[in-house]
Amino acid sequence: MAIQKTVAGVSSVALRISAFIFFRLFPAHFSSIAFALFAIYVPSFFASYFTAPELEVIDDQIAITVKETTITTETPLLTEDGVAVAPTPEVVADEIDIKENVVLGEKPAKAWKVLLFGAPSSTRPFSSFLTFFVNIVLVSLTADALYRARLYYPADDLSFVRLGYVSPTEAKFLIREPDQAKMPITFEIHIKDPQPPFDNTLWQPAGGVRWTANTTDFTAALSVPLQHSQQRRYEWRTSNNHTGEFMSPPKAGSMPEYHDGKFTFLSTSCILPRFPYNPLDHPLAIPGLRHLANKIPELGAQFMLFLGDFIYVDVPERFGSSVEEYRMQYRQVYASPDWAPVAQNLSWIHVLDDHEISHLLHIIPSFS
């Protein structure tokens, strides 16, 4: 029983540490470790709980009884010759009776130890099954973090328009629309803050998309010419109900006309949805972008320079290397409720990094 209880305690503690690391510190691979530890914990828990418990001495009493016995010998008064004989003295003997009464009982476990370490005790049934429930919850949350977005939020029907590189003369957009009933998509743009008398405030057609196909995951790129040679704020809209705005940059060598002449851009990297983990968050939540959205209005940024790891295809687990796997993970970022507040009205320029591509450059002749 001691071995079973030790295995239950060690696997429980290791499981809880692994779950904490997975949720808050380093999500790679610790989910698999947590599942393996739980598989060890379950049989050791029940084997330890239902095996005969450890016993300890509850009461030990010793009873000693001393009994005195007088022994009298029969001595004749006279010998055969008629000589008087002195009587033999009486002998007193002590008879000692020793009895030990030992009471055994189950060794009680401390409730806080059962809850903290996870090793069960039949003397603490409530604490034992409560600590078992805690480990079930941790494993369930691990599975939730790992699989819920994959199973229920593949974002196959996602429709979006994303702003890319913006120069003084044009802006690039990426459009995704899987619903062919909405084709063709038309794109319109106008100056949001016209400066009279020459700025045109009317909506101007700026191109569109005739169709999309699965070969590009229903996406198409669109280059939109800008109407004014000076720095202006533009507003755009599409026929499939997407809208947004952006600011064109100043020409090279010119000072910005907005934000007191300051030119600001942002830089970040590494997007991992739902990390740090919060079970109350949306399955596609990106906490870092949520915090960034609160600061963007006051920064007046011109663009975001994203330095890689837009997705983590191998964290917390690599589920495959197919094109569809990569596409799904990119769609999930765009489908996040935290994406639009930081990207709908801000140009994003991307760099690819190691979690978005396989480490195969060493087998390509031009790189070896």
Tens of pLDDT, residues 58-92? 666 777 777 767 666 565 555 566 665 556 566 56
DSSP 78: B
User: Higher-confidence residue: 252 or 42?
Assistant: 42
User: What would the mean pLDDT of 299-303 be, rounded to a whole number?
Assistant: 92
Q: How far apart are CA 6 and CA 131, in angstroms?
A: 15
Provide the pLDDT confidence category of residue 362 given band limits of 50, 70 and 90: low
- CA gap 237, 235 in Å, rounded: 7
Please, where are the H alpha helices in 168-322? 287-299
Token code pair at residue 321: 């290397």
Tokens of 209: 């998309």
Every domain of the chain and the residues it spans: 2-54+110-152, 58-104, 160-362
Average pLDDT over residues 134-154: 96
> Where does the chain show beta strands of DSSP type E?
55-71, 91-106, 160-166, 170-176, 185-191, 204-209, 219-225, 233-238, 243-247, 264-268, 301-306, 347-350
Q: Is 118 exposed, middle or buried (0-12, 13-18, 19+ CB in 10 A)?
A: buried
- Name which of 340, 351, 300, 356 is nearest 163 in CA terms: 340
Q: pLDDT by residue (tens digit) across 216-256?
A: 999 999 999 998 888 999 999 999 999 999 999 999 888 99
**Do the beta carbons of residue 171 and residue 224 sit within 8 Å?**
yes
Asked if the model's pLDDT at residue 277 lies above 90, the reply is yes
CA distance 121 to 107: 9
